[in-house]
Structure 1
């Protein structure tokens, strides 16, 4: 039996980081997202990453009132533009349909949608770790995703991008599960809440996830009220190659596939593991 053909791997894969400011005005948010895709296309990017809650956001909490289905205007527009520009998209949004909470009130799902360069939905990740910390109670408005759902890993130009979101960054087993599924790059759309030490936590955790997994990390935060922004791209050796401040920006970087292979050859820590990641149930 012949080996399964692999997609051609480029010397570098171009990724656009879209650090957007998102509010409750869906139309304005969609215009900003589409403009980011146009910017990515002009830069000849292979992938554009939008933040968590890119469809609509309220720093006081997001639930069913800001949710829309996957066939709604936001994801439909991303699919249309991805196909038109020939680039993949990873974006956070909120969809209805979560199990009601303990109080019987309806809840939504916080999701990350991956769209391939042909405009097809390649996968959907429903956030597992809800942000019930630092005075927030995300679980009052959102239902957690299933623990046993297959990891979301998207192939782009010969690199594999594993998807997690925001609070998941604090759980190293989530990142390791994606690497076990073949991820070379960890993509983290976020609306990282501001507060004491929070920007430092965000940066430190992104760097740690890169070093311990010998994987690049593309951590894309929201800008604006109640969130830190500060998107960053970290190499598999832990070196920060791009770091933004707290205002809206769209920037494009190249990820070097040869560098990833070289780092993993010099530091084969993934091969030295003695424990596996399994759901707690």
Structure 2
């Protein structure tokens, strides 16, 4: 299955960002992709007041994304914000296209490195997978990558691919952590990990907002054996990757870490 990872820099205006998604989806379709994956916060970048831009899954922004999927014939996965109780929002991934209609609310919120996502975002609670052409795919968002149990849950649900959409926070050592964590999660769950992040705003000619996590780029496709198969730098770009589900079967036969798991009893 060929997928496209679109590493871009979104701004504060959801309508402008839709234009970017339309253009990139056409590029992905021209490249023969079956699905195109955009970063977390594709609707509006972090540093933007989120409650005013949040819309329900049947709202205008999501409907425009569905239109992009219909026009291109692709499954589109993109990060948006939906209303949540108490004036907060959910950090939501919308997956839509031929035979697919699902959403995932980010479970693990980025309360780290001096940033408190939970001040404005409510956590999700459900593991979500989708099926594209008979291939099961798990959905995850950014800080989720630090929690291996989510990716093992994808594998337990039958997934052979995890999509990780991110807007990674910059800082000393953060690129190295991103690269280590994405490889580790692929190897933990012995599945393909397709990780797409917001491009570095500086490399896009944009200016980041305060300490908001606005992206560092370095999107990558990681094989089920933990090896990096393709990657980008800091600037905007697109990866086209062919993911072979049979390779997951072979790696799980050679390294049966899922089958060999044992849970220690607590005394």
TM-score normalised over the length of structure 1: 0.86
Q: CA deviation at 1:62?
A: 5.0
Structure 1 counterpart of 2:181, from 199, 205, 210: 205
Is residue 2:151 matched to residue 1:175?
Answer: yes
Q: What stretches of structure 1 of length at least 5 have no aligned partner?
A: 1-12, 101-105, 277-281
CA deviations 1:126-176 (Å, max 9, x no partner) are: 11111110000111111111x3x3x21111123211001000100111111
In 2, the alpha carbon distance for the partners of 1:141 and 1:246 equals: 27
In 1, the alpha carbon distance for the partners of 2:108 and 2:169 equals: 15
Q: CA deviation at 1:178?
A: 1.4
Structure 2 counterpart of 1:259, from 244, 247, 250: 247
Question: Residue 113 of structure 1: SS of its match in structure 2?
Answer: strand
CA deviations 1:82-135 (Å, max 9, x no partner) are: 122222111111011x222xxxxx1111111111325x5x21111111111000
Residues paired across the two proteins, number: 252
Question: Residue 271 of structure 1: SS of its match in structure 2?
Answer: coil
Is residue 2:50 matched to residue 1:71?
Answer: no
Determine if contact 2:12/2:48 at 8 Å carries over to the other structure.
no
Match of 1:95 in 2: 82
Is residue 2:230 matched to residue 1:242?
Answer: yes
Match of 1:10 in 2: none
Question: Residue 143 of structure 2: SS of its match in structure 1?
Answer: helix
In 2, the alpha carbon distance for the partners of 1:123 and 1:27 equals: 22
| Range with greater deviation from structure 2 (125-134 or 109-118) | 109-118
TM-score normalised over the length of structure 2: 0.90
Q: What stretches of structure 2 of length at least 5 have no aligned partner?
A: 202-207, 209-213
Q: CA deviation at 1:192?
A: 0.5
